Amino acid sequence: MAQFGGRLVVGLIGDPVEHSLSPHMHNAAFEALGIEARYELWPTAAADLGARVESLRRLGTLGANVTVPHKQVAIPLLDVISDTARRIGAVNTIVPRDGELHGDNTDAFGFGRSLAEVLAGRVASRALVVGAGGASRAVLASLQEAGFGEIVPVNRTQGKADTLAGSLDGSEWTAILVNPWNALAELAHSVSVLVNATSIGWHGEDLPFDLEVIAALPDDAVVFDLTYRSTALLRAASKRGLKAVDGLPMLVYQGARSFELWTGRTAPVDSMRQAVLAEQARRV
């Protein structure tokens, strides 16, 4: 971490950013480790992105997170891009290092940790991923890294899943097989992991697909919803006796990884998790 006389800053670049839980998570981490730093919200319109990214070169800036809609367009503004971020085609973390801006993506790591925690060494081979946006890209990369033999992306707009699969394919041991939306229930019979990577969980009690998909899953399947709240999907999966995991562990682990990239210190994961839970409870 750079030596600096004043308080260090790190921030979230996106539009909008007001809803973010990251300031609570990271400020708790700084406090837990006694680091004189502050995580701020930096709402940034597309026209201001270049200047905002350049400002990260200033002394006293630890780095930044990047969120919607800038995760892809920020890439050409940076000097060095990690292999993971390049494969995913998106950055969510920027670190100034020796005068250069490094772009990384910690979402895949975050999902991977969350997945490993749940599988606890169990071998899973086939995953069904619903959605083909930015989060889905990170999930697919993570599942590939975890050694899944077959990943099946399904998206309402199938062309987006085709594009996504085309840009990620290339691993010898993983087949990425896009399927149509109406095949979901049939596919569910033979998967060990189902991931909802659509944004539907934020909309009240809406389900991303019919409950027959949940009914068709094997008894030992794990259902992930990247939304970090108790969604109708997760409740339906739990009711059926399946393991159901929300997006909170992914959020905390991606944050922990970013924190470690900025500070070089081991992230206080428990403090970060508690801060997120406390802020969520306050918002209800």
Candidates 6-14, 145-153, 156-164, 256-264 — which segment interacts with ligand NDP by CB under 6 A? Answer: 156-164
Q: What are phi and psi of 156, to 5 degrees?
A: -50, -50
Look at the alpha carbons of 262, 265, 269, 275 in this order and tell me if their dihedral is positive or negative.
Answer: negative
Q: Is 44 in the site for ligand NDP (CB under 6 A)?
A: no
Contact predicate 221/246, CB 8 Å: no
CB 44 within 8 A of CB 14: yes
Identity at 239, one-letter amino acid code: K
CB-nearer residue toward ligand NDP: 195 or 221 = 195
Catalytic entry in 71, 160, 239, 243? 71
Note whether 198 binds ligand NDP by CB under 6 A: yes
Residue nearest to ligand NDP (CB): 133
Per CB under 6 A, does 135 bind ligand NDP?
yes
Which residue type, as a one-letter code, is found at position 90?
A
The H or E element spanning position 126 is strand 126-130
Q: Which of 165, 201, 231, 237 binds ligand NDP (CB under 6 A)?
A: 201
Binding to ligand NDP by residue 230, rule CB under 6 A? no
Nearest CA among 79, 19, 81, 77 for reference residue 48: 77
239 flagged as catalytic: no
Per CB under 6 A, does 133 bind ligand NDP?
Answer: yes
Min dist CB 9 to ligand NDP, Å, is 22
Number of residues that bind ligand NDP (CB under 6 A): 27
Residue of 110, 112, 153, 268 interacting with ligand NDP (CB under 6 A)? 110
Question: What backbone torsions phi and psi does residue 41 show, to the nearest 5 degrees?
Answer: -95, 130
Residue 87 or 96 with smaller CB distance to ligand NDP? 87
Nearest approach in angstroms of CB 97 to ligand NDP is: 24
- The single residue among 74, 81, 223, 250 that binds ligand NDP, judged by CB under 6 A, is 250
Give yes or no for a contact between 39 and 30, defined as CB atoms under 8 angstroms apart: yes
Tokens of 71: 């995760």
- The span of 12-20, 72-80, 171-179, 243-251 binding ligand NDP (CB under 6 A) equals 243-251
Q: How many residues does the chain have?
A: 284
| DSSP letter for each residue of 129-164 | EE--SHHHHHHHHHHHHTT-SEEEEE-SSHHHHHHH
Residues forming the site for ligand NDP (CB under 6 A):
68, 107, 110, 131-136, 155-157, 160, 197-202, 208, 226-228, 247, 250-251, 254
Known catalytic residues? Answer: 71
